Amino acid sequence: MVLQHLEPDCTDTVTIKGDQTMRVNADFNERILVRFKENEWIASPMPGVDRKMLDRIGEEVARATTIVRFAPGSAFSAHTHDGGEEYLVIDGTFQDEGGDFPAGFYVRNPPTSSHTPAAQDGATILVKLYQFDLADRTQVQVDSAKGDWLDAKDGVSRLPLHADMSETVAMERWDAGTARTLDASDGLEIFVIDGSLNEGGDTLFRWDWLRLPVGARFEATAGAHGARVWIKTGHLNHVTEPAA
């Protein structure tokens, strides 16, 4: 099911009686800014695992963008990602059968993949669920600390993370005061890993998240200490609701 005009336009969690669909920031035609410090932690079904919901359609099986915090020693039960999972480790060390993934790692686990996530010493991740082409089977693991960053140009250095026919994902470092224009014609998400930037009159700080709709323009300027950001573009033309 392709969702073109999702209602209601939610900034809070809403449960619709009958289909029990949770919708958080579910109008993809709107510019959405979520500030980390103003967004409350919500307990997950697993002890020691809390979440800040950025956008969501669905209950525990959901198309979702979330900041997830694992307390030291916490874990999730083994599970399969029918719609795929994409995450960026932003603090601590995240673990599963594939190994240890310290802060700065970007991982894509495609549809039908399974794992048992944990964090012996604690971790925080930015995670996106059920946002893959269901035929995708590409596994991606990139350590940004060791990645092939492209040479800085006009105050910007860039680390490509993933690209396919429907989306492009990258990490960028912007020098202080750098003005940056990006193609947001097919939608854009940007997450501030550290530093700050100004966009549309708003200043975004560490772990703030911005989503721009299809047809938007993105023009931003890095703050006094520069910015390191995670960027996804080209992916919001076709937003699908997860199967029940």
In a domain, 3, yes or no: no
Determine what percent of the chain is predicted with pLDDT higher than 70: 91
* 57 and 171 belong to one structural domain: no
Domain count within the chain: 2
Q: Is 131 left (phi over 0), alpha (psi -120 to 50) or beta?
A: alpha
Domain range enclosing 137: 14-142
pTM of the predicted protein model: 0.90
When pLDDT is cut at 50, 70 and 90, the band that residue 243 belongs to is low
pLDDT for 151 equals 82
For the cut 90, the answer to whether the pLDDT of residue 216 exceeds it is yes
For the cut 60, the answer to whether the pLDDT of residue 11 exceeds it is no
In a domain, 2, yes or no: no
CA 241 to chain CA mean position, Å? 17
For the cut 50, the answer to whether the pLDDT of residue 49 exceeds it is yes
* Phi, psi at 38, each rounded to 5°: -100, 0
Is residue 164 within 8 A of residue 136, CB to CB? The reply is yes
Q: Is the peptide bond before 8 cis (omega within 30 degrees of 0)?
A: yes
* 101 and 164 belong to one structural domain: no
Least confident of 135-139, 141-145, 146-150, 214-218: 135-139
